[in-house]
Chain A
Amino acid sequence: MDKHTLQTNKPQKPSHHRTIEWLKKNLFSSWFNTILTFVFATTITVIVIGSVKWIFLTANWHVISANFRLLIVGQYPVAELWRVWICLTLVSFLIGLSWGLWKGTMGHLTIAVTSLYVIVACLPFVLMETRIWLLINIVVIVATYAVGKNWPKLKKSTLVGWFLMFPVIIFLLNGFGVFNHVGSNLWGGFLLTLLIAIVAIVCSFPIGLLLALGRRSKLPIVRWFSIGYIELIRGVPLITILFVAQLMLPLFLGNGIDIDNVVRAMVGFTLFTAAYLAENIRGGLQSIPRGQFEAAEALGLNATIKMTFIILPQALRAVIPAMVGSFIGIFKDTSLVAIVGLTDLLGMGKNIISNPEFLGTQMEVFIFVALVFLIFCNLMAYASRRIERSLGVGKR
């Protein structure tokens, strides 16, 4: 036995020997493990062969290629699609710049996004126009990367750019009188999924912050209001809140204010996310040691300055991973708008399978939808893990 262990520790050994030892250790270490290995191996083989056969022989991928535009941008008018492309290019511009400036995690994300562009451009059914736009995007990323790498002073303006990007994109997509008006009832597909998720995340952040501070406030009315709101929202399913937003918001707002379905869904999501975000931020606030508060008070800082410059920067930094986790949840939950009749990625998929032309293609459509979500959620989860490691949260 002893001899055996000694041998495994020897560095130089023929490679096939090492393979056998690895197999022995990881697959056949006991009779139970051996049985387990064979059971799993058979199951996996059956599943893999079945899926490969289905993917390459049975599945009718024509449904995806024929409806690709619908799935990605929905009913957005073809003549105005250049506006969506401009938005994407803006995002690419900022991504490339951030890659050059911050490197690290941003680099990995940029490479993932770029390879996504390349893959989409290589799909056999996309239009030439799409390929050209994607090529422009890739060029923009590379060019701005070079810029960002050489001008490290651009950090602040890039951050401002990320914040400004959001209203600019909404402006571009809607038109608001400058371009032809494209109502949000025409936004659809993956574009709508992304927009709802981004609006919910951006708008819920200040509300969540206020609720978290309110819950820790010394003023009882404010505290009880915050607790009531947070616990009420967290106690009921998201779908009821979406229904409240769809059916009761028009009732509550009266006749003077008329808002469309998409905005109602966004309001519902924002109110929902705020409660969960508030709990995340409260966790961060609780993790700040008392000494920080006392030191700030001893310096004579007033409550606002103490919060903005001493407490919140530390608290928010500590809960970045938890917040990204919530954001992944929200991104996945946007698919619920399909139940209230919006045509996001999933809703569009549901519409497509009810089209008699594409009868019997449910599996293909939903697998495609699942794949899109899988890719983006995995990207976010990966970024979250990297940030967690680089912040050293949980290691102190």
Chain B
Amino acid sequence: MNKHSSSMATPFWRDKRVIPFLLQAIFAILVLLIGAFFFLNALDSMKQIGLSFGYDFLSKMASFDIGDKLIEFSSTDTYGKAFVVGILNTLRVAFIGIILATILGFIVGVARLSNNWLARSVATVYVEIFRNTPLLVQIFIWFYAVFLSFPTIEKSLNALGLFFFSNRGTVIPWFEFTSSSFIWLISLFIGLILSVIIWKVKLSQQVETGKKKYPLFWSIGSVISLLIIAFFVTFETPLLFSIPEISGRGFVGGYTIGPGFCALLVALVMYTASYIAEIVRGGILAVSKGQVEAAKALGLKSSTILRLIILPQAIRVIIPPLTSQYLNLIKNSSLAAAVAYPEVFGVGITILSQTGKSVEVISIVILVYLSMSLLTSLLMNIFNKYSQLVER
């Protein structure tokens, strides 16, 4: 009887409908069990140290000061505001770093394919050295052996009397806004819009009539004439140049950049540029040879070929890996903790050591990085859509 029924119906452990359900149930239970084990342990250990879980510490007073900051912050402000300062600092180094690394990376990438042997070899050596040493070692070299080894402020090195290098930071000339800056800005903006319109109109006239209409000349002229108008309205220069000077034991004027930021930025740019250079090189090599030959046959200059034929096509191959390099740069900026530049991770560690709220602080830091990564890939995906090949 028993034997008979088992041969008729498939046993449940071989049933195609039951197996997936069972496997998933087992998996989910396992994951939940491990999670619960971790969670209970964490609660238990926190109770033993006398800590409770909660984010209410964010509104408490942070009793530390932050050296490098973009917004006002003093030791009487809250921990929440300290995090904001940290996030802004991360964004600052990431933003400037991405722009500079892209420029340097494109230059090196093009140089790697140059027909000048010297440029080619220098670019290759650069890429090999900077790709194959750890970023942290590079940051340490820039921080300890370069930016902290500069002389004191009184004896600081200067270049052209404009840039000063001291162990307390680098000082560069900076602008100061005046009351007339706004008028200048508006007239510059109007001039730019006007120039684009005039350029387009003149270009289409040139294409239609076949006569030279000098579109470039006209558009530049329109910008300049509006700037002249602005000058006669305000009788002032748009920005005041503030050139740094040494006075006593500090600098007056200019803009001071701390050694931590300098070291981090230089290292991030040099390191990421070496990766971007390889991506750019790969992208250029992916453009088919016929395109270049056709452009040469049309008599275009080699700089024009690069700008109008090769790069627009190479961009399509370049953007996806470039995005991941940007993401890496943002994530790598967290190494600032080693050179005392207060970005979000460094600030988080300071708060953590003051409050002991390790789970909460780390969760905030992770959330910040995840959202920044998400935002960057979103922006790059939009840009990617525009640069893709439009086919019939």
Binding site for B on A (CB under 8 A): 25-27, 29, 33, 36-37, 40-41, 44, 218-222, 225, 232, 235-240, 243-244, 247-248, 250-255, 328, 332-336, 338-339, 346, 349-350, 353, 360, 362-363, 366-367, 369-370, 373-374, 377-378, 381
B residues at A contact (CB < 8 Å): 20, 23-24, 27-28, 31, 38, 41-42, 44-46, 114-119, 122, 128-129, 131-138, 140-141, 144-145, 148-149, 331-332, 334-335, 337-338, 345, 349, 352, 358-359, 362, 365-366, 369-370, 373-374
Decide: A222 and B136 in contact? CB cutoff 8 A: no
CB distance from B326 to the nearest CB of A (A): 13
Select the residue from B137, B138, B335 with max chain A CB neighbours within 10 A.
Answer: B137
The interface residues of chain A lying within 8 Å CB-to-CB of B373 are 235
Chain A contact residues: helix, strand, loop or mixed: helix
Residue of A37, A251, A363 contacting most chain B CB atoms (<10 Å): A251
Given the complex, which residues of B lie within 8 Å of A251, measured CB to CB? 41-42, 45-46, 358-359
Across-interface contacts of A370 in B (CB, < 8 A): 133-134, 137-138, 141
Number of A-B contacts (CB under 8 A): 154
Q: How far is the CA of A285 from the CA of B118 in the complex (A)?
A: 42
Contacting residues, chain B, for A26 (C-beta < 8 A): 115-117
Residue of B whose beta carbon sits closest to that of A379 = B132
24 contacts between A and B (CB under 8 A): A27-B118, A40-B122, A221-B28, A225-B31, A232-B370, A235-B366, A236-B370, A237-B335, A237-B345, A239-B345, A247-B358, A251-B41, A251-B46, A253-B38, A253-B41, A332-B135, A333-B134, A336-B136, A336-B335, A338-B136, A346-B134, A346-B140, A370-B141, A374-B132
Question: Which A residues touch B148, using CB under 8 A?
Answer: 362
Whole-angstrom distance between the alpha carbons of A87 and B20 in the complex? 46
> What chain A residues lie within 8 Å of B334 (beta carbons)?
237, 239-240
Complex contact B116–A236 (CB within 8 A): no
Excluding A239-B345, A360-B149, A370-B137, 7 further A-B contacts by CB distance (< 8 Å) are A29-B116, A36-B119, A250-B45, A251-B358, A332-B134, A335-B137, A362-B144
A133 to B70 Cα, complex, angstroms = 57
A366 close to B366 (CB less than 8 A): no
Contacts of A338 in B (CB 8 A): 136, 338
Also in contact, A222 and B331, with CB within 8 A (given A235-B370, A335-B136, A373-B137) = no
From the candidates A33, A373, A374, name the one contacting B116 in the complex (CB within 8 A).
Answer: A33
Q: B370 contacts A220, CB within 8 Å?
A: no
The CA-CA distance from A253 to B23 in the complex, in Å, is 26
Q: Which residues of A contact B144 (CB under 8 A)?
A: 353, 362, 366
Minimum C-beta distance from A328 to chain B (A): 8
- Taking chain B's interface residues, is the majority helix, strand, or loop, or is none over half, making it mixed? helix
A239-B335, A362-B144, A369-B137 as given contacts; A377 in contact with B132, CB under 8 Å = yes
Q: Is the CB of B134 within 8 A of A373?
A: yes
Query: Which A residues lie within 8 Å of B335 (CB)?
Result: 237, 239, 336, 339
Name the residue in B38, B45, B116 with the highest tally of chain A Cβ atoms < 10 Å from its Cβ.
B116
Provide the bound-state CA to CA distance between A232 and B362, in Å.
13
Q: Contact: A236 with B369, CB < 8 Å?
A: yes
What's the least CB distance linking A272 to chain B, in Å? Answer: 11
CB pair A350–B140 under 8 Å, yes or no, is: yes
A298 to B28, CA, bound (A): 32
What distance in Å separates the Cβ of B364 from its nearest Cβ neighbour in chain A?
A: 11
Q: Answer whether A33 and B332 are a contact pair too, CB < 8 Å, given A220-B24, A222-B24, A370-B133.
A: no
Closest-CB distance, B336 to chain A (whole angstroms): 10
Please report the C-alpha to C-alpha distance between residue A253 and residue B374 in the assembled complex, in whole angstroms. Answer: 31
